Structure 1
Amino acid sequence: MPIQLRRIVVFARDRRESARFIADLFELDEPEPAGVFTAVHLGEVTLHYAQPGGDFPRQRYTFLVGEDDFDAIFARIRRQGLTYWADPYRRRAGELDTQGGGRGLYLDDPAGHSLQITTRL
């Protein structure tokens, strides 16, 4: 059997808020309780949001999406008035990354993690 990544634990100040944010952004099923976690199913991987009760490092999570999905996600980002950048260093606010022939952007989730959404890696 090939090695598979099935679960990622994502630290958050409010696990329900962060799980709801990603589920709404990507139009996924409702987050659900999973023991001490709040789970969001994303294809073959489940994001388990946890509240560590202290400080945690900021992480970056990259999501590869199709062109139609990118359009829908980008529309939701604009509709909600969320700040986004074309680069991970936050130098190009309100722009898209078009290097490599695709489209991409970076935005922060409620816990401060950087989400990269891109049509090409």
Structure 2
Amino acid sequence: MSVRLNHTIVWCRDKHRSAHFLVEVLGLSAPEPFGPMLIVRFDNHVSLDFYDNDPPIASQHYAFLLDDNAFDHAFARLEARGQPWWADPGKQRPKQINDYAGGRRVYFDDPDGHLLEIFTRE
């Protein structure tokens, strides 16, 4: 059997707010309840399982590889929300798009301070 990532838990203060933020920005299907969690599923059969936890929430990084069309739509939704974004994970280049490897990438925070990244080239 090969080894594949199946899921990871995303600790958050409000699983509904955090899971819905992600699906709205990325244009994904609605989260599905599973026990005490809300599950966000991706095309590669991996899921992020949002689970309420008391603060402080340690910031994690989650990166999402998108095709150009999906990136355009997600980026437009970020801008429409007035969401701050950066070209770098250190947040030193606000409102810029990183063109590393001939693609595009931006970083932004979710409601719990997890650093999210959308990008088009590996």
TM-score range for the pair, normalised by the shorter chain length: over 0.9
2:15 matched residue in structure 1: 15
**Unmatched runs of 5 consecutive residues or more in structure 2:** none
The TM-score with structure 1 as length reference comes to 0.95
2:42 matched residue in structure 1: 42
Note the C-alpha offset of 1:91: 0.7
SS in 2 for 1:48: strand
What is the alpha-carbon root mean square deviation over aligned residues?
1.0
1:89 matched residue in structure 2: 90
Note the C-alpha offset of 1:13: 1.0
Report the identity percentage.
36
* Deviant stretches of 4+, over 6 Å: none
C-alpha offsets along residues 43-92 of structure 1, whole Å, 9 cap, x if unaligned?
21111001122323101111111111111111111111110000001111
SS in 1 for 2:41: strand
Residue-pair matches, total: 121
1:30 matched residue in structure 2: 30
CA distance in 2, matches of 1:42, 1:16: 17
